[in-house]
Structure formats: C-alpha cells, structure tokens
C-alpha cells in the first residue's frame, strides 16, 4: 500500500494501550491519509485497566469495542476471533497490526491470516521457551501468522532465525532508516522497542500530572514497588504465598507498595490470605499508567512478574527483581539490571539484599520505533508490490 488505505490495530490489555499511543501519534504525523481503525476487544474490562489509559494517553475512543471480557483462554480467544473476523469483513482493512502476546494478539492475527490480510506484529520474536505460559503460545503462533515481524532487539531476531525465518532485513541489526521491502514476505526487522517510545512520551506528562507520591506520603528511593499478576504466580497458591511472605519480610525494613491486580486480589480471597497477616506490604488499588511510572521512577527496587515493568525499571534506572524463572527481556539480565528469582523466598530476599549490578546497556533503541514502523508500513515511495501479500 502507499500512503493511503486502511489499517486496523487490535488492542485489549493495558500493555497494548501503552504501545498503541506512540503509533497513533506517528500515524498522525507520518501517514495522515491512512485510515487507522482501533478495535478494543475488551479483554481488560475494569475501568482502571482499560478506559483510563485511553483518556490519559490521549488516545481516541476505539472505533469498535467488542466487549469480550474475562473468560477461560480458549473461550475468550474464540469469542474474540469471531467478533474480530466480523469487523474485518465489514471494514476490509489493507493491513492489521497486533501487539505483544495476549489472547487479543493471537485472535487478531488468526482472524487476519484466515482472511489473507497481512499481519504486522509489534514486539515479535520474544521467547521465554516456557510453553506452559499462555503468552509463549500466543507470541509464537502470532509470529508464524505475520507478514512483517517488528522485533525490539537482536535477541528477538535471533529467536526467529532459529525458527526458520530467513528474510531478515539488515542482518538483524537495528533498522535506522526506512528499508525498501521487496520480495516475498514475511520480513523480520529489528526496529527497537516501542515501549521506550511510550516511556519517553509518557514520563514527562506523568511528572506534571501525577500526585501519587504525595497521596501515598512516600519518599523517593525509600520504598519498593511490587506487582504480581501472571497466572503462573497467582493461580498457584504455594508460589503466591511464597512471594507475599518474601515481600512481607522485605517490608519490615523497607516499605513495599503493592498495587493489587484484580486477579491477584481474587486469589487472595480464594486462598484465604489475609492482609492483616502481611503488615509489611502496603496493598493499594490499581493505579493509572502515569502514576505507575512515577512509582517506578522513585522506587528503590522494583519486584515484579511483569515484562513491561522489567523494561520500564531499566528505562528509569531502577534495579529490578523478576518473580519468574525466565524472561523474554534477557537483555536486562545480561546488562545487570535485573535478577530472575522465581517464587523462592530465599532467592527473592538474597537478590534484594545484594541488588543487581546495573552496569550495562540493553540495546532497546533510541525512542524512534513507532516512526520506523509507520514509515515501513505506510511509506509513500514503495514499489507497487513491496508490501502486498
């Protein structure tokens, strides 16, 4: 396609809203004649986990809100697949963009591929090599449905190369200029990490807007920030108890602020884990993305099972302790900013006491990923067949 046409973005969870924001701006600035349609699957339906991000990030209201909501993985994905396909048949997009590794991502990619619509995967090539994680299945299947795979790092490119992808632009090195994509798809490109774009875009706004430090009466670098939301931790009572006991122990000397994900709160109730037994943890309701950025920036240490927060910790220059056995963002570990500790109480506390070395660079680009993506998929000076399936 040239600088006209219709492109649909599929979003449905908090990280995707955040990744969408810099792309929306890049569409406006670099491809104003392209019709960009936003489809919100409704995968996260709680106000604090969905609508608030559109408002705070300056995103337009979604053109379609599918309202799927929470369900078992298979049912949720199936409902999304059906409703997304209806949107595609109605709108006939030239391309579809999917983000990350959620059920919304996979449903969007499958629906497009079945209708022979090119799929562009933002944050392609990530692998934890843990097939028990639903996110790992989602990201691998999405990559193999995609026409253009926008990788955030060289490691992601290497992962795809191992899986048989051979049409790798620039040898897997970071794409600095807009390449002319000719030949047969799929293409694999390292364009840098779009989350760095989002971080740079939002931090300045957050510093002006957020009052969370004052509201919680916190002092910079005198508290830890913790989050737990992944099913591998919340749905396993032993793992969740171990993590909370470790956080509680840390909290006896250093305050632990813990914004509570709805899934985690339900599991605390299910397992009869009572807050009065965890006085070292300051449990609060979910906060906005801007408030979370400020909490991250001012924390002494971040303890999390979130992939996005691992990187945001690095962007903010804050040590991170990851409550998982593996990570898709191995660069943060290799650079000494991140410890992998799983749900082991002794490892969590040992990592907190020693702290990551925080010495190296992770190689996530310079904050121009969204511009590169838009110039690649909506550039006016392409060969007529360069971006067609």
* Catalytic center residues: 229
Tell me if 150 sits within 8 A of 120, measured CB to CB: yes
Number of residues that this document lists for the chain? 389
User: In 10 A of CB 363, how many CB atoms?
Assistant: 16
Detail the DSSP E strand segments found in 93-218: 95-99, 119-122, 148-151, 187-190
Who contacts 29 (Cβ-Cβ below 8 Å, separation ≥6)? 371
Cα–Cα nearest to 81, from 120, 44, 123, 115: 115
Using only C-alpha atoms, the chain has a radius of gyration, in whole angstroms, of 20
Separation CA 53–CA 48 (nearest Å) = 8
CB atoms within 10 A of CB 167: 15
Q: Which of 105, 197, 199 is nearest to 149 (CA)?
A: 105
């Amino acid at each position: 396609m040239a600088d006209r046409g219709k492109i649909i973005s599929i979003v449905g969870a908090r990280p995707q809203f955040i990744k969408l924001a810099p792309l929306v701006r890049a569409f406006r600035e670099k491809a104003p004649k392209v019709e960009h349609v936003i489809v919100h699957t409704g995968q996260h339906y709680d106000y604090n986990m969905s609508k608030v991000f559109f408002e705070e990030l300056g995103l337009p209201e979604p053109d379609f809100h599918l309202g799927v909501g929470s369900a078992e993985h298979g049912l949720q994905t199936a409902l999304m697949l059906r409703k997304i396909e209806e949107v595609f048949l109605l709108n006939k997009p030239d391309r579809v963009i999917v983000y990350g590794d959620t059920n919304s991502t996979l449903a969007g990619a499958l629906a497009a591929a079945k209708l022979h619509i090119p799929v562009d995967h933002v944050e392609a090539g990530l692998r934890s090599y843990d097939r028990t994680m639903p996110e790992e299945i989602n990201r691998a299947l999405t990559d193999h449905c995609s026409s253009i795979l926008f990788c955030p790092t060289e490691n992601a490119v290497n992962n795809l190369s191992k899986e048989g992808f051979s049409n790798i632009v620039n040898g897997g090195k970071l794409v600095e200029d807009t390449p002319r994509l000719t030949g047969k798809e799929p293409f694999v490109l390292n364009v840098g990490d779009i989350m760095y774009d989002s971080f740079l875009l939002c931090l300045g706004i957050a510093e002006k807007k957020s009052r969370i430090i004052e509201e919680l009466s916190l002092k910079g670098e005198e508290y830890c920030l913790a989050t737990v939301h992944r099913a591998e931790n919340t749905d396993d009572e032993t793992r969740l108890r171990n993590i909370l006991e470790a956080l509680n122990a840390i909290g006896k000397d250093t305050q632990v602020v813990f914004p509570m994900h709805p899934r985690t709160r339900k599991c605390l109730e299910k397992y009869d884990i009572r807050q009065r037994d965890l006085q070292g943890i300051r449990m609060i309701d979910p906060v906005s993305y801007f408030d979370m950025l400020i909490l991250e920036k001012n924390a002494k240490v971040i303890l999390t099972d979130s992939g996005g927060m691992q990187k945001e910790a690095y962007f903010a220059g804050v040590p991170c302790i990851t409550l998982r056995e593996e990570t898709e963002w191995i660069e943060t570990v290799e650079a000494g900013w991140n410890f992998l500790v799983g749900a082991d109480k002794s490892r969590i506390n040992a990592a907190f006491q020693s702290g990551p070395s925080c010495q190296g660079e992770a190689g996530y680009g310079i904050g121009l990923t969204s511009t590169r993506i838009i110039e690649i998929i909506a550039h006016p000076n392409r060969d007529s067949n360069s971006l067609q399936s």
